[in-house]
């Protein structure tokens, strides 16, 4: 694997994934530093697909994407797919960072360079539970060079006390589609970088609105007590029996781990948190961020874990738990 594939850059302490060149806390990185130190200073090209027999046959409707620096193939895409280059993606955040509204926290490549990400921290944290529980606010830009996912701008709250990624999809009929349906903006690669840059002009307003609603919802959950029966119902709904109606050992382990995190997890010693719906949500997100990826056969490296938490199975689990908890308590 090329040296620049799994490189990352970050500000502050070494992250839980153990990867990256670390800058001191408070460092304000430029887009150029993020590209170079994060191992992202390369471009993607689209190339035709042909068979290797004689006579050669071209595959008209499909193309491969590959990295120009080493010709590494990253994926197979439709012929109308347009790459959004790493430098173009950085320019989206540069406009926000240059205004002092956010600062780069980390960036890098995952899964052999087929996925890249840029994470920017927005201002001060949200203070919940009478200012005793803090949640940092982030914008995460994820770009897939393999054609499997659209480009995404995610609103990602992270609980400071235990680094849990909280994926809350807020549902209120009066809000715009981003804050009502899900905390993300998606852009298909057929649209190219132009739509991304146009969207970035509005994303800050959407992010601030999302986090305002997030704070209200989190405070609401801290006022709701979660009885043992409700906890059991929620946990069993998120982790139901398999298709045969069986509760396998793996399902039982998932349920037990979440229940333990609800009762004894990080932050339960904060006054006003233990026994609440907020503690239950954090029990799920703590497991989704830490325990669940460790049990997955697909998670073999720290970079795989990062992908799971931000974009894969860990995030899907947190979002599923949020939907169930919202139905029970709202």
Strands 8-11 and 115-122: unpaired
Q: Yes or no: say if 73 and 49 are a contact pair by the CB < 8 Å rule.
A: no
Q: How large is the average pLDDT for residues 158-177? A: 62
pLDDT of residue 200: 62
Q: What are phi and psi of 60, to 5 degrees?
A: -65, -35
User: Percent of the chain, pLDDT > 70?
Assistant: 83
pLDDT of residue 82: 87
pLDDT of residue 167: 66
293 pLDDT higher than 90:
no
Higher pLDDT, 288 or 294: 288
Strand partners, 107: 9, 118
In this prediction, residue 169 has a pLDDT band, given cuts at 50, 70 and 90, of low
CA distances from 144 to 15, 107, 115, 150, 187 (A): 22, 14, 5, 7, 11
pLDDT of residue 4: 39
303-326, pLDDT tens digit by residue?
Answer: 777 777 777 888 889 889 988 998
* Cα 72 to chain centroid, rounded: 25
Q: Give residue for tokens 């959407």.
A: 206
pLDDT of residue 55: 85
Query: Buried (b) or exposed (e) across 57-71, using 16+ Cβ within 10 A?
Result: eeeeeebbbbbeeee
Residue 88 CA to residue 235 CA, distance in Å, equals: 42
327 pLDDT higher than 80:
yes
118-155, pLDDT tens digit by residue?
Answer: 888 888 888 988 888 988 888 888 889 998 888 887 88
Q: Give residue for tokens 């994407």.
A: 65
188 pLDDT higher than 90:
no
3 pLDDT higher than 70:
no
282-291, pLDDT tens digit by residue?
Answer: 999 999 888 8
pLDDT of residue 279: 95
Strand partners, 276: 225
> What are the tokens at 75?
């994926």
> What are the tokens at 179?
């804050």
Strand partners, 159: 135, 164
Residue 197 CA to residue 118 CA, distance in Å, equals: 15
Q: What are phi and psi of 56, to 5 degrees?
A: -70, 145
pLDDT of residue 97: 75
Q: Mean pLDDT across the chain, nearest whole number?
A: 82
pLDDT of residue 274: 94
11-50, pLDDT tens digit by residue?
Answer: 876 655 556 788 888 888 888 999 998 889 999 999 999 9
Q: Yes or no: say if 154 and 140 are a contact pair by the CB < 8 Å rule.
A: yes
96 pLDDT higher than 80:
no
Residue 330 CA to residue 317 CA, distance in Å, equals: 20
pLDDT of residue 70: 92
Strands 21-23 and 8-11: parallel
Residue 89 CA to residue 79 CA, distance in Å, equals: 21
Residue 208 CA to residue 105 CA, distance in Å, equals: 18
219-276, pLDDT tens digit by residue?
Answer: 999 999 999 999 999 999 999 999 999 999 999 999 999 999 999 998 999 999 999 9
Residue 87 CA to residue 242 CA, distance in Å, equals: 45
Highest mean pLDDT among 7-11, 99-103, 162-166, 210-214: 210-214
Query: Buried (b) or exposed (e) across 236-259, using 16+ Cβ within 10 A?
Result: eebbeeeeeeeeeeeeeebbebbb
> What are the tokens at 268?
């339960």
């Amino acid at each position: 694997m090329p040296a620049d594939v799994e490189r990352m850059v970050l500000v502050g302490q070494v992250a839980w994934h153990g990867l990256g060149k670390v800058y001191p806390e408070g460092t304000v990185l430029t887009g150029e530093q993020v590209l170079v130190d994060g191992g992202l200073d390369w471009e993607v090209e689209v190339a035709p697909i042909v068979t290797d027999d004689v006579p050669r046959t071209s595959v008209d409707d499909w193309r491969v994407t590959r990295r120009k620096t080493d010709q590494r193939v990253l994926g197979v895409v439709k012929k109308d797919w347009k790459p959004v280059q790493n430098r173009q993606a950085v320019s989206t955040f540069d406009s926000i960072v240059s205004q002092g509204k956010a600062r780069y926290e980390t960036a890098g490549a995952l899964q052999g360079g087929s996925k890249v990400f840029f994470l920017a921290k927005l201002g001060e944290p949200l203070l919940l539970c009478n200012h005793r529980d803090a949640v940092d606010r982030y914008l995460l830009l994820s770009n897939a060079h393999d054609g499997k996912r659209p480009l995404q701008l995610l609103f990602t709250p992270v609980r400071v006390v235990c680094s849990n990624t909280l994926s809350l999809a807020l549902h209120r009929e009066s809000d715009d589609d981003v804050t009502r349906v899900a905390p993300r903006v998606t852009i298909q690669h057929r649209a190219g970088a132009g739509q991304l840059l146009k969207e970035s002009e509005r994303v800050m307003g959407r992010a601030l609105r999302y986090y305002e609603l997030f704070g209200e919802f989190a405070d609401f959950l801290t006022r709701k007590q979660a009885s043992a029966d409700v906890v059991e119902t929620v946990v069993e709904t998120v982790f139901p029996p398999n298709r045969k109606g069986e509760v396998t050992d793996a399902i039982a382990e998932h349920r037990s781990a979440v229940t333990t995190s609800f009762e004894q997890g990080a932050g339960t010693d904060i006054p006003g948190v233990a026994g609440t719906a907020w503690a239950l949500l954090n029990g799920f997100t703590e497991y989704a961020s830490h325990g669940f990826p460790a049990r997955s056969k697909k998670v073999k490296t720290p970079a795989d874990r990062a992908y799971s938490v931000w974009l894969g199975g860990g995030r899907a689990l947190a979002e599923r738990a949020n939907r169930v908890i919202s139905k029970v308590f709202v």
